[in-house]
Structure 1
Amino acid sequence: MTDFDASERRIWAGRATAYADSFGKVCAHPVPQLLDAARVREGVRVLDVGTGTGTVAAAACARGARVTGVDAEISMVELAARSVPSAEIHLAELPRLPFSEGLFDAVTANFVLHHVGRPEAALAELRRVVRPGGWIAVTIWAVPAAAGQTLLGRAVEAAGASRPSHLPALAAEDDFPRTGAGLTDLLTSAGLKDAVCEPLHWNHIAGAEEWWRGAADGIGTIGRTVLSQPDHVRAEIERHFLRLSAEFSTPEGQLALPHSALLARGRR
């Protein structure tokens, strides 16, 4: 396990419900396209890696697939198991999965590669557990990020705060460009064939309190950054967040937050 992996385990420990109530909703947007890319349909044996609260697993079950989900965080596993009783949900983490080679027809990983210390090794493991000819589909957040994705970071910056030093970045030798070409090359380097990538763009609709709550509850790196600040700095971050949120306000009093992601697929 890398330092980055260990940090991710600490960041997400016990956060399943808070994630489901906040940022989990925006991560659900690409699920139909993700399942289409992996050719998930009735009877297909599909593995959803980093299943989180089970959103992808539930959608795959609704298509009639035979679904197994895994996650490295026990609170996610427990919530997913309750939410998707028709799927098999297990505690497991990349880059070593407890499955035999070629067991699955398809593998999905929705916004998972951001949370592993060795993305290429993780993809190689996904390739190992899918059958020859089977498809793997993944999503990541695109760089540069869309305006809705940078809102909380802008508030942190405006308050004069910064990412705490105890949160390690991905090692340079393991990182990759978060672009269509960068993600396609990563899949190819992991041994996948016919790798292609497409951009996804959408507006996520959320209340300002809901969006702030994700950060205030410590979800992800941005949440840990907010929680690491003294009380007066957290209050200043929230003040700037509310000010900047006005840029995205809708007539209904919600926020329309632009997001951009990348969806890539390849086959074994």
Structure 2
Amino acid sequence: MGISSDATAAFDAAERAMWEGRAAAYADSFGRLCAHPVDVLLEAAGVTEGTRVLDAGTGTGTAALAALGRGARVCAVDADAGMVAAARERGIDARVAVLPELAFANGEFDAVVGNFVLNHVGRPRAALAELRRVLKPGGRIALTLWGARRGAGQELLGRACAEGGAVPPAHLPRLDPAEDFPRTPEGLAKLLAEAGFTDEGATEHTWNHRTTVEEWWGGAAGGVATVGLVVTSQDARTVVRIRRAYERLSAEYADGEGRLALPHVAILAAGTA
């Protein structure tokens, strides 16, 4: 697969460190958010009874579990051992693997799904090439991606960090610009085409994530994702300021029933090997 650049190696190392030990915090917060597109993801990949499916970047196994519920035969991989352990506890055949290196035969799967995995790999083109390799001819791939257009709810924690005076740490994952691509439906569809997929296409998927003030804060306070790294790297006084700003700003999204309705936007793409 070639030798990674220093920037890519640094990105991948930062990603591994960011998720290590955070499976439980993820499952209790952002994991619920990422579960929203799973059904449309499986539909786009053509997952039905008997389909041999690879769930790449399974996290705690939500998409894999949903595929099993459709009668599919599922194998799941994730780069984080804690996530793999959590998926296995749910009865999923999961193992540790880091894209773009997969220990599967050519054409082993009928379908591949990747729910927000492409945001977290340092070599997205190489990752797609590897996912295409393990797909049989005519097999389907379906991916979700956090794109350039963000819903208002996606900005809530970032706004709170800015108002609280947070200083981003130097160790945030930063993708090598040479590896990046336009984070738009058109940009992701083009990336699939460059990887050799046909019938490729991508659309935006929008929804309101319903959560509570405490649950949504719990992910950031637990160090989950980039915003979690920002929050947990601040001194105690700054964290207090961020929390106060967050509580005030979150009122904008109150649904009148004691919960928040946070608008989110993601990209859903699919193609044929």
* Preserved CA contact (<8 Å) 2:57 2:114: yes
Is 1:108 matched with 2:119? no
Unaligned segments of structure 1, at least 5 residues: none
Report the counterpart of residue 78 of structure 2 in structure 1: 71
Equivalent of 2:56 in 45, 49, 52: 49
Equivalent of 2:181 in 176, 199, 202: 176
Structure 1 position 189, deviation (Å): 1.4
Number of corresponding residues: 266
Report the counterpart of residue 264 of structure 1 in structure 2: 269
Equivalent of 1:125 in 130, 133, 152: 130
* Counterpart code for 1:197: A
Structure 1 position 199, deviation (Å): 1.1
Is 1:214 matched with 2:224? no
Q: TM-score, normalised by structure 2?
A: 0.96
Structure 1 position 88, deviation (Å): 1.5
Give 1:1-268 correspondences, 5 Å limit.
2-83=9-90, 85=91, 87-268=92-273
Structure 1 position 74, deviation (Å): 0.5
Structure 1 position 142, deviation (Å): 2.5
* Preserved CA contact (<8 Å) 2:18 2:224: yes
Structure 1 position 176, deviation (Å): 1.1
* Preserved CA contact (<8 Å) 2:23 2:86: yes
Q: Give the whole-Å Cα distance in 2 for the aligned partners of 1:163 and 1:108.
A: 32
Q: Give the whole-Å Cα distance in 2 for the aligned partners of 1:163 and 1:130.
A: 39
Unaligned segments of structure 2, at least 5 residues: none
Q: Give the whole-Å Cα distance in 1 for the aligned partners of 2:156 and 2:211.
A: 13
Question: What are the Cα deviations for residues 16-45 of structure 1, in whole angstroms up to 9, with x where unaligned?
Answer: 111000000000000000000000000010
Structure 1 position 160, deviation (Å): 1.9
Q: Give the whole-Å Cα distance in 1 for the aligned partners of 2:140 and 2:167.
A: 39
Q: Give the whole-Å Cα distance in 2 for the aligned partners of 1:185 and 1:3.
A: 26
Q: TM-score, normalised by structure 1?
A: 0.98
Q: Give the whole-Å Cα distance in 1 for the aligned partners of 2:58 and 2:180.
A: 22
Q: Describe the SS at the equivalent of 2:84.
A: helix
Structure 1 position 168, deviation (Å): 3.4
Q: Describe the SS at the equivalent of 1:64.
A: coil
Q: Describe the SS at the equivalent of 2:16.
A: helix
Identical-residue share of aligned pairs (%): 56
Structure 1 position 165, deviation (Å): 1.2
* Counterpart code for 2:247: L
